[in-house]
Amino acid sequence: MSEPIRVLVTGAAGQIAYSLLYSIGNGSVFGKDQPIILVLLDITPMMGVLDGVLMELQDCALPLLKDVIATDKEDVAFKDLDVAILVGSMPRREGMERKDLLKANVKIFKSQGAALDKYAKKSVKVIVVGNPANTNCLTASKSAPSIPKENFSCLTRLDHNRAKAQIALKLGVTANDVKNVIIWGNHSSTQYPDVNHAKVKLQGKEVGVYEALKDDSWLKGEFVTQRGAAVIKARKLSSAMSAAKAICDHVRDIWFGTPEGEFVSMGVISDGNSYGVPDDLLYSFPVVIKNKTWKFVEGLPINDFSREKMDLTAKELTEEKESAFEFLSSA
């Protein structure tokens, strides 16, 4: 057995965490021979609920869980971390402007970034899920100058998985038969799901998704619309099971690497990209991962429709960043 790794989940009393924690504890993220010390952080009013989650995790009798620590204190939560999964954020309340949401979250992620900087290992991998995820991730990274900015990523894997699943449903195959879809940009309504480079296995042959679908109006319409809103409308709650599954996929790929010939989408720092996206944005790109290090997928041809969509989401991220940084200097 290897040494235990310390994994933090914030917002640990929430919906997504409830679906996520068991998967982390049972070895399906870090492997079946990797013991784990699981740290659960939430706000003080949620500590009662968090105790219930702690009891349930104990009752799962998971052999890999060496310890579970529930806390509302950042200095306890962020100590010596190997992985931090930041799920907790201020949710959007009715009648709340995106700017107000941004301001509340800058405060949270500035504080958590500073705690990472002060207490976590310098090699910590940080995954931000709480929305607005891209800008929250950038805020945390800026607040943790001693941790390499490449160690920070935000979740666009749910959008990536949704895109794969939608295509698979449309073509009557399984999601596993679809690969290399791309989510470009912000985890928001401006994100651009791109199938121009995606492949699908049909009758044992690999073909381009675009050619296989032959349905431009669906691709530019229904396919791009917000699936998340549809889930909320139906369940009266936001996506939790699918979000937790996407987090597991994202973190497992960081840990073990991406399969040969396959790339995934994640929000990463844009510095040095070859796609004309401005530097210093936390933007979702196609990446491959090896030895716990991601690299941009280079050299994909970008058509005019894609270019326009990619620029639009970059513009939104630049505006969000500017607002966030105003708050950051005053927070």
The question of whether 187 is a catalytic residue gets the answer yes
Dig out the tokens for 28 from the structure.
């399906």
Residue 222: CB atoms within 10 Å: 12
CA distances from 310 to 208, 251, 275 (A): 21, 25, 9
Determine contact, residues 270/285, Cβ cutoff 8 Å. Answer: yes
| End-to-end Cα, the chain, rounded Å | 44
Any idea what DSSP says for residue 160? Answer: H
Any idea what DSSP says for residue 37? Answer: E
Catalytic residue of the set 160, 187, 197, 250: 187
- Report d(CA 220, CA 76) in Å as an integer: 47
- Report d(CA 164, CA 172) in Å as an integer: 12
Only one residue has tokens 């931090």, namely 84
Burial of 221 (0-12, 13-18, 19+ CB in 10 A): exposed
Residue 152: CB atoms within 10 Å: 27
- Residues with catalytic function: 187
